[in-house]
Structure 1
Amino acid sequence: MPAEAALAIDSPIDELERVAPLRAGQAPPPLPTVDGGFQTVLADPPWRFANRTGKVAPEHRRLDRYSTLTVEEVCQIGVRDVTAKNAHLYLWVPNALLPEGIKVMEAWGFRYVSNVVWAKRRKDGGPDGRGVGFYFRNVTELILFGVKGSMRTLPPARSQVNMLETRKREHSRKPDEQYDLIERCSPGPYLEMFARYPQDGWVSWGDESSDDVEPRGRNHRGYGGGEIESVSFPVLESHERMPSTTERRIAKVLREQYEAGASVRDLVQETEYTITRVRRLLEIAGAEMRGRGRKPTDPVS
């Protein structure tokens, strides 16, 4: 379920929690469990808040995007009981509800240590200015990162920047690249709360996570995700592997450049990867390799 609200807030949280939902709420089902507890949790709570007119966002009848929960209801979900002694939490929070996000994190047994910023980009890589907000036009969202007990991130996290730059999807849908980032940085087993689209290797929990349930958020024109034309290549150690989704994305970009005339050495210089890694990525993308020094237009003898 989504975390981004459609309208900006202008009320303290104790007033927001008194706003009655327009649809009858349903008690959340029990959380799933695994032996030893989940070591990593990703959560995108359906935050409820009101705009300046007092209308509930996003449950106003004109919007009707999804059911929501109050902050107290989110706090009462028993995440503490299904997570391992040492665990990581990735919690999506709208910019306007940062204090409430910290409150939820603490109620679930985690302490805040850092965050990841999702910068929503246009196709050309510039900021997507279609966001909303009462004070600023929001082009970012936050993932608060919390730790329960004591557990460092995995070694690949040492080169992972705390920013995702992707094109916007349908209302409130978060970027698929979040899964690659999390799997690089935190160990499983993985639990996604308020999930909308089941992911391989993850346990999904939420009223829209089933394959036979159509999520309510509509996909409007221009919000279909897709590649950013200006691509940034992740910094990697010499023997570090990319997550599979990232690997396929980078491989596709390199193939397009290679078939447009770039040499392997050109791609090595641009990406700062080894020749071996560049060649492997080209093979993954199905590129037809040329002889050394040969251009696409050169005749093959």
Structure 2
Amino acid sequence: MTNNTNTTPDPDPPVESPRKRYQALIVDAPWPTGQSGKYGAASKYPLMTLDAIAAMPIGDLADDNAHVYFWCYPSTRHVAEDILRGWGFRFVDEFVWGKDQMGLGQYFRHAHETLLLGVKGKLPVRFKGQRSFAMLPRQDHSHKPEEIHQMVMRMSPGPYLELFARRPFPGWDVWGNQVESDICIPGYPVPSDIKVDIPGDTAVINDEEAANA
């Protein structure tokens, strides 16, 4: 039996690269609430549970002083604020995107979506003249207006990250099912960082799938 008593430090210990952190993030999560019907988002792409959205390490991706812009709609408006706080941000304001077409709704037919602004630490906005409402064209399902990226860049300093992105945008890192992602998020595999034998989208839609991925 050999006892290894060598206590000499490794002259070249592995160095873990620091994770890039962002001062402005857009999050467009695939909410499950009210989206299971024939015309809901479930017919377009996989959804995530509320618990899986809340457990995302958004706070770890953000700088100590950062802004997060979090998309929601009327039936997720209340829980979105709770999730923001769980990520380490305080809710400070909101922007409303008015659409030129009616959408779904059990009471009002919704023609808007809301972008919540959360702040981590202390980070004032760079532009004080931004209106809280704009009518912007509706495109394909859940495609948010590119004008939003420009608005965020006026309001907040970079680096910039869009989560659940559907296409690249100049000056931004992106992550999601439909893009070649610039980052990996442990427990949340996307096609660009994990290979699976399922055609089409491969988002994690519940905690059990995340554990088995």
TM-score calculated relative to the size of structure 1 = 0.52
What are the equivalent positions in structure 2 for 1:68-83 lying under 5 Å apart?
68-83=47-62
What are the equivalent positions in structure 2 for 1:1-301 lying under 5 Å apart?
33-34=19-20, 37-50=21-34, 57-59=40-42, 63=43, 65-121=44-100, 128=101, 130-154=102-126, 157-210=127-180
C-alpha distance in 2, partners of 1:201/1:113?
25
Which structure is higher in helix share?
A: 1
Deviation at 1:88, TM superposition (A): 0.2
Letter in 1 for 2:53: V
Deviation at 1:134, TM superposition (A): 0.4
Deviation at 1:163, TM superposition (A): 1.6
Deviation at 1:164, TM superposition (A): 2.4
Deviation at 1:197, TM superposition (A): 0.7
**Runs (5+) with no aligned partner, structure 1:** 1-31, 122-127, 217-301
C-alpha distance in 2, partners of 1:47/1:203?
22
C-alpha distance in 1, partners of 2:63/2:95?
22
CA contact (8 A) 1:164 1:177 kept: no
C-alpha distance in 2, partners of 1:68/1:93?
14
Q: If you compute each CA radius of gyration, which structure gives the higher value, 1 or 2?
A: 1
CA distance change for structure 1 residues 137 and 50 in 2, over 3 Å: closer, same or farther? Answer: closer
**Cα-Cα RMSD:** 2.3
CA distance change for structure 1 residues 55 and 168 in 2, over 3 Å: closer, same or farther? Answer: closer
Q: Percent identical across equivalent pairs?
A: 32
Please give the secondary structure, in 2, of the residue aligned with 1:183: helix
CA contact (8 A) 1:43 1:192 kept: yes
Deviation at 1:153, TM superposition (A): 0.2
CA contact (8 A) 2:67 2:118 kept: yes
Match of 1:255 in 2: none
Please give the secondary structure, in 2, of the residue aligned with 1:146: strand
Letter in 2 for 1:43: V
CA distance change for structure 1 residues 82 and 194 in 2, over 3 Å: closer, same or farther? Answer: same
Please give the secondary structure, in 2, of the residue aligned with 1:80: helix
Deviation at 1:108, TM superposition (A): 1.1
Match of 2:4 in 1: none
TM-score calculated relative to the size of structure 2 = 0.73
TM superposition outliers: structure 1 runs of 4+ over 3 Å: 54-57
Q: Deviations over 1:174-229 (max 9, x none)?
A: 1110011000000000010010111111000111123999x98xxxxxxxxxxxxx
**Number of aligned residues:** 167
